[in-house]
Amino acid sequence: MKSVLRIATVDPHEETRNSLKTLLLGIDTVWLEAECSRYEFFNDVIEQTQPDIALVNVDADPAKAVAMIGEINQQHSQVALLVISTSQEGSLILQVMQNGAREFLNLPLQLDDFIAALDRIRGSMRGGEGEAGGDSGQIITVVGVGGGVGSTSLSVNLAAALATDPSASPVIVDLDLTLGDADVWLDIIPDYTIRDVSENISRLDYGLLKRSLTRHDCGVFLLPRPVEVESQDLIRPDDLRRILALLKATFSHLIIDVSKSFGPLDMSAMEVSDRILIVTQLDLTCLRSVVRVMQYLDQHPGLEQKVEILVNRMGLEDTDISLNKALETIGREVFWQLPNDYATMVGSRNNGIPLSRFAPKARLTRSIMDLTRRLKMGDDEHAAAEAAPRKRGLFGLFGGK
């Protein structure tokens, strides 16, 4: 997956500056950190925001712009300079490259050329910094096929399990704007919600977004649903994508707990996700809902291959449907099974303490910890695991497929 590049721009001409802003907002692998209308102020903007890329339109005053590029290159060598201009004069191109520009592109910008330049800059940053310029976070969307199947409990405890790794920084996004309760599971009374973020989307930056999150003692961050009951019209899908892009660039894992309405925001979250976990139980209503959900997602290109089926509360006494019968019904394999442990889960919820701390040795907790390891497996590691002999059978209680 590609990491998100933070960009600061300078262009004294309002028309081209706004056109460039529109282009940048349509690219999910970049984040417009700051924009400036004066060359003489841009060095200060770079100092304050520390972007990955400084994007400079030199047309307003080429001599002043070239001098500014040299100053930025000397004072902020870690910032990649990308220059744009309507001019094709060889002397101008030579000057900006000699003063430290990495790329020179002609206006009007062609999207393919711009993306290619970004990829070259991204590649050079990784080559020089190793892991420091590594991939951005993984997005996992959790979808419940009915009320009470355990999608929120999984979202919260999956994030908490990930947080036991000191190198991980998981964040939960509660996208059920009407009845979300991730804050209850974590016993958090937030100062800010996703409503505050959406209302300040035009000036959203790393600092504002970080202040809008609430951190639990276990290491999990939460972007909660609004205090009041809200419809999905509160946030535009494009704004949500911007929020998720910035979170993805900042945190190791995004766990999104969506609503069950499959509205525009839910679908936008699934579109940018790396994994979509469909949570079900072994009862007829839930299994029929799985089939309906899968048929619906099949109509959206690119989503079906992200979907994994997770069966919750395995071993529940009042179910008459076997796993084999369930597999026949849904027509695909089960990615993971979580054992039924109602008493432990209720105790965790009522105390606002995730399972990883409330009952670290419980079999349900161990299963969720194993699930996190499975989700973090790379393609090669996954293929090796698939080829390895299974000692516990195809559908072992704490295993995967």
Distance of CA 35 to the CA centre of its chain: 24
Domain 138-387 architecture: 3-Layer(aba) Sandwich (3.40)
**Which is nearest to 140 in space by CA: 48, 253, 8?**
253
Type of residue at 155: S
- Token pair 């609430």 in the structure block, residue: 214
- As a whole number, mean pLDDT of residues 252-274 equals 95
Helix/strand/coil for 293: helix
Strand-pair partners of 56:
10, 83
**DSSP category for residue 309:** E
Domain ranges of the chain: 5-133, 138-387
- Domain 5-133, what architecture? 3-Layer(aba) Sandwich (3.40)
> Mean pLDDT score of the chain, rounded to an integer?
87
What is the residue whose two structure tokens read 């290491």?
Answer: 219
- For the cut 80, the answer to whether the pLDDT of residue 3 exceeds it is no
> Where does residue 395 rank: exposed (0-12), middle (13-18), buried (19+ CB within 10 A)?
middle
Residues β-bridged to residue 91:
none
Residue 185 has pLDDT above 90, yes or no: yes
The CB density around residue 127, as the number of other CB atoms within 10 Å, is: 9
Query: Is the model's pLDDT at 129 over the cut of 50?
Result: no
* 358 within 8 A of 348, measured Cβ to Cβ: yes
pLDDT tens track for 329-344: 898 899 999 999 999 9
More confident residue, 219 or 397: 219
Enclosing H/E stretch for 7? strand 5-10
* Domain 138-387 in the same topology as domain 5-133: yes
- 280 and 311 in contact (C-beta within 8 Å)? yes
pLDDT for the residue 317: 64
Type of residue found at 226: P
* C-alpha distance from residue 162 to each of 50, 144, 277 (Å): 29, 20, 16
Q: Which tens digits make up the pLDDT trace of 278-328?
A: 999 999 899 999 999 999 999 999 999 999 999 999 987 666 688 888 888
Mean pLDDT of 383-393: 51
Residue 370 C-alpha from the chain's centroid:
22
Q: Which two tokens stand for residue 202?
A: 């035009």
From residue 29, give the alpha-carbon distance in Å to each of 6, 265, 320.
9, 19, 47
Give the 3-state secondary structure of 232-264: HHHCCHHHHHHHHHHHHHHCCEEEEECCCCCCH
Does residue 15 register a pLDDT over 60? yes
Residue 312's pLDDT is 95
Q: Look at 179 and 3; give whichever has higher pLDDT.
A: 179
Q: Which of 169-183, 191-205, 384-398 has the lowest mean pLDDT?
A: 384-398
- The answer to whether the bond into 360 is cis (omega within 30° of 0) is no
Q: Are 178 and 341 in contact (CB under 8 A)?
A: no
pLDDT tens-digit series, residues 371-381:
999 998 754 45
What angle (nearest 5°) sits at the alpha carbon of residue 377, between those of residues 244 and 242?
5
3-class SS at 277?
strand
| Other Cβ atoms closer than 10 A to 393 | 8
Structure tokens at 124: 């050079």
| Torsions phi, psi for 362 (to 5 deg) | -65, 150
Do residues 362 and 166 lie in contact, with contact meaning Cβ atoms separated by under 8 Å? no
Average pLDDT over residues 8-19: 94
> Comparing 120-129, 229-238, 369-378, which segment has the lowest mean pLDDT?
120-129
Tokens encoding 331: 């027509």
The pLDDT of 123-131, averaged and rounded, is: 57
Provide mean pLDDT across the span 257-282: 95
**Burial (0-12, 13-18, 19+ Cβ within 10 Å), 21:** middle
